[in-house]
Amino acid sequence: MTLKMKDMINLKIDGINVSVEAGTTILEAAKKVNVKIPTLCYHPDLCIAGNCRICMVEIEGSRTLSAACAMPVDQNMNIHTNSLKVRTARKHNIELLLSEHNSECTKCYKNGNCELQSLAAEYKITNEMFIDLVPFHHYTIDHYSPSIIKDDSKCIRCQRCVRTCEELQSVSALSVAYKGEHMKISTFLEKSMYDVVCTSCGQCINRCPVGALVEKNYIDQVWDAIYDPSKHVVVQTAPAVRVALGEDLGLENGEIVTGKMVSALKKLGIDSVLDTDFTADLTIMEEGTELLTRLKKALVDKDSSISLPMMTSCSPGWIKFIEHQFPQLLPNLSTCKSPQQMFGALAKTYYAQKRNLNPENIVSVSIMPCTAKKFEADRPEMRSSGYKDVDFVLTTRELAIMIKQAGIDFMSLPEDHFDSIMGMSTGAGVIFGASGGVMEAAIRTAYELVTGKAVPFAGLNITPVRGMEGVKEASVLIEGTLPEWRFLEGVTLNTAIAHGLVNAKKVMELVASGKANYHFIEIMACPGGCLGGGGQPIPTNAEIRMKRNQAIYREDEGMPIRKSHENPEVIEIYKEFLQKPLGHTSHELLHTTYVDRTKK
């Protein structure tokens, strides 16, 4: 649709003429002409709060300053973003925030990547203009979650976290408590984040402008393991890490850094650098077989106890969400562990045997785009190797910190290859990092197993399941089945894909109401899937997530093998160790159970 001239608003910002659609805010209009207005409570993924007053601008003819993030443009406005009045007000607002803030930057985890710190530096806030308003040293620090630290003494009460948790995740674990100077961000009954409905997804961390919400880091523990000569440190890297790590190390958004990442990990002193994509492929074998088995029992055996639609179980934030919010649907979850946990269980069994290592001396570390993976690794169910299957989970951000600590010049690193065994993967494993990727990988394999032919999509690209729409639906007609799968002849496999828990909730409500007609559902807790995970480099926004998404599919297209069942190491592990998908050993090591958390 082309806009009529009367729908356009003409105004001036710092002397620059700009023409924008009606309803555009001053902040958005300024961005269009490259005028930067500082913000704190504003985040492009969230609704406008307008509470920090950092984005104040002067509109000619108006007595008071206006918040650029909240104020829509009007015809012939003449706006000044850097007048004396604006600068003075902004500086005072920053000073006020600092007077309520535990400003010990040198001891703060966000030192160097903090929006308040950058503003204080830009405005050269060097002296105390206000007396301390809030006794921040009395605030508690919540350390109990294995994923997240919440430090109220750093909080500037911008409420980005509250909006994230409500608008993007529909969890509402955080809310505003008390009023005035006592106002704080709290949980239900001020319990630890570990003891409430929080899914550990880390989306609030990604949007907190300061150090009030950060991941619990395990960097020192991993260094200790590296320096301990009695330990064999095995690292697995998740698919979404390789398209985002570069952002924290001076590269552009969405650059593929797989080879450099492997190089860096070897330089850090890791004994074996392996790939979660290998167990992503293995997940497809197990999950695909599980889906086909459920379909056979439901369609042929008419077994009414079979729960359909089956739902993916790779995303630990999603698992915790369903355990809290829809426990009646837990039987619908695939029993497959996530690729991280499959890897951990195999690292201390299969890998240990093949390498002739005592599993007791193996330290299994995973590099994940996700903070909920830290919670997942701590679950009591995740010890099927006889040890803690994954010892430490580092986020993409933590790996970047280690690379910097080691003084590695990431840009000039050569490309290296994953080690073997458990280091080989396919394009199907790579796309696990994007929303729709697990579904696409599963369909590529399941269709071929059932029909003996490749999926009827050009270049194996199942485009209907791709993209950033919150809920996607796709159907695949199964035709030309092999004899053992005749019961699926002519069946249209209906699928749904949702990312971001607000979208997961919509799909779950549909399933719970009995109105859904799906066979298989993929859910990822984070916007965009793992590539938008709570452990990925900050900042995040739709454009950055889209660049990572495109990088994931580029990586897939460039892989020599793009179907999980063709991964030679997957074929080998079934021959040598697991025997068959859903077999006894698989059942012991690769599958799990879930907890109804409403009964806790």
Return residues touching ligand SF4 (CB under 6 A). Answer: 101, 103-105, 108, 110-111, 114, 116-117, 148, 154-161, 164-165, 169, 171, 173-174, 185, 198-204, 208-213
Alpha helices in 26-106 (DSSP H): 26-32, 84-99
Q: Which of residues 15-54 bind ligand FES (CB under 6 A)?
A: 39-42, 50-54
Q: How far apart are CA 42 and CA 486, in angstroms?
A: 55
Q: Sort 381 into a burial class: Cβ within 10 Å, 0-12 / 13-18 / 19+.
A: middle
Query: Considering CB distances under 5 to 8 angstroms, the limit depending on partner class, which of ligand FES, ligand SF4, none binds residue 413?
Result: none
Smallest gap from Cβ 108 to ligand SF4, in A, equals 3
Known catalytic residues?
287, 290, 314, 334, 373, 376, 381, 530
Neighbours of 490 (CB within 10 A): 10
Report helix, strand and coil shares of the chain as percent, to nearest 5.
45, 15, 40
Computed on alpha carbons and rounded to an integer, the radius of gyration of the chain in Å comes to 25
Query: Considering CB distances under 5 to 8 angstroms, the limit depending on partner class, which of ligand SF4, ligand FES, none binds residue 54?
Result: ligand FES
Task: Check residue 165 and report its DSSP letter.
Answer: I
Nearer to ligand SF4 by Cβ, of 134 and 198: the residue is: 198
Using CB under 6 A as the binding rule, whether residue 69 contacts ligand FES is answered as yes
Give the tokens for residue 372: 């909920």
Nearer to ligand FES by Cβ, of 74 and 557: the residue is: 74
Using CB under 6 A as the binding rule, whether residue 499 contacts ligand FES is answered as no
Smallest gap from Cβ 38 to ligand FES, in A, equals 8
Give the binding-site size for ligand FES (rule: CB under 6 A): 12
Q: List, edge to edge, every strand of the sheet that includes 232-237.
A: 272-275, 232-237, 362-368, 392-395
Q: How far is CA 150 from the centre of its chain?
A: 18
Smallest gap from Cβ 263 to ligand FES, in A, equals 40
Smallest gap from Cβ 163 to ligand FES, in A, equals 12
Smallest gap from Cβ 209 to ligand FES, in A, equals 10
Q: How far apart are CA 346 and CA 385, in angstroms?
A: 7
Neighbours of 292 (CB within 10 A): 19
Smallest gap from Cβ 67 to ligand FES, in A, equals 4
Q: How far is CA 369 from the centre of its chain?
A: 6
Give the tokens for residue 81: 């973003």
Query: Considering CB distances under 5 to 8 angstroms, the limit depending on partner class, which of ligand FES, ligand SF4, none binds residue 39?
Result: ligand FES
Give the tokens for residue 582: 């859903």
Nearer to ligand SF4 by Cβ, of 166 and 440: the residue is: 166
In order of 226, 391, 392, 421, 570, the CA distances from 364 in angstroms are 11, 5, 7, 14, 20
Name residue, tokens 């590269």. 251
Among 26, 67, 185, 372, binds ligand FES (CB under 6 A): 67
Query: Considering CB distances under 5 to 8 angstroms, the limit depending on partner class, which of ligand FES, ligand SF4, none binds residue 349?
Result: none
Query: Considering CB distances under 5 to 8 angstroms, the limit depending on partner class, which of ligand SF4, ligand FES, none binds residue 254?
Result: none
Query: Considering CB distances under 5 to 8 angstroms, the limit depending on partner class, which of ligand SF4, ligand FES, none binds residue 110?
Result: ligand SF4
Chain residues in the site for ligand FES (CB under 6 A): 39-42, 50-55, 67, 69
